[in-house]
Every structure is written in structure tokens, then in C-alpha cells.
Amino acid sequence: MIIGVGIDVAEIDRFDDALRRTPGLADRLFVERELTLPSGERRGIASLAARFAAKEALAKALGAPGGLHWTDAEVLTESSGQPRLSVRGTVAARAEELGVRAWHVSLSHDAGVASAVVIAEG
């Protein structure tokens, strides 16, 4: 049963400007594993914007309650390249309250826009 669906878009240049303008913003939005590729290189801005969109979409799928912490949701990448969500803390508590047992996430970026769709399944 679908409990919630969320979608979000982020303008990549605008997101990049926000990260450059606000020291420490990336650390408030992402955990270290999200900021770097498996090779250790820093992840590109389009990929980070898509991950930010996924976190926004996740919040919408949960009904957009206040008090969720950005770093309590992590967008991981499987060896196949498929994105996967990992939740803990405030996000896990809200998901448990709603009966979420599985997450589905899709990320994309093209033409200066990053997007994400999240489905919460119970």
C-alpha cells in the first residue's frame, strides 16, 4: 500500500550558489558518504542537487511534518547505480508512525534541473 508520494525539483545553478554562499550548508544537508563518490572524489553539484531534491520529496511523502533533520535521511547508491534511501532518527520515527516499510526513489538531472520522486510504501 502506498502511504505517501513526494516529488521535488532543484535548479542546479541556484543550489550551487546556495552552497557557495552559505558556509557549512552542505554539512547540514548531507552526511559525508553523500558528499563523496566511492573513489573519494567530491560528488558533482548536479548529483548533490538531486539528492537534496530526494530529501525534500521524502519529507513530502511523509506529510511534510516539522522537526525532520536533513541528515536523518541519506541517499545511497547501490553498486548497480540505483539510488536507495536510508533513514534514521527523526525521519525513521515519522516513517514508523505512518507504517512505512519500504522506500522507492528515483533521481534525475538534465537541462539545469535536478529532480527526485520518493514513494513511501507500507
Averaged pLDDT of the chain: 95
Q: Report the pLDDT value the prediction gives residue 1, as an integer from 0 to 100.
A: 96
Number of domains in the chain: 1
Pairing type for strands 83-87 and 73-77 reads antiparallel
Whether the model clears a pTM of 0.85, i.e. scores above it, the answer is: yes
Q: Report the pLDDT value the prediction gives residue 65, as an integer from 0 to 100.
A: 86
Q: Which residues are annotated as a binding site?
A: 8, 56
Q: Report the pLDDT value the prediction gives residue 107, as an integer from 0 to 100.
A: 97
Cα torsion through 58, 61, 62, 66, rounded to 10: 70
Q: Report the pLDDT value the prediction gives residue 110, as an integer from 0 to 100.
A: 96
Question: By residue range, what is the domain housing residue 27?
Answer: 2-121
CATH number of 36's domain: 3.90.470.20
Whether the pLDDT of residue 121 is over 90: the answer is yes
Q: Which residues are annotated as a binding site for Mg(2+)?
A: 8, 56
pLDDT tens across 36-88, in order? Answer: 988 889 999 999 999 999 999 999 999 988 899 999 999 999 888 899 999 99
Which of 101, 102, 98, 53 lies closest to 75, judged by CA? Answer: 53
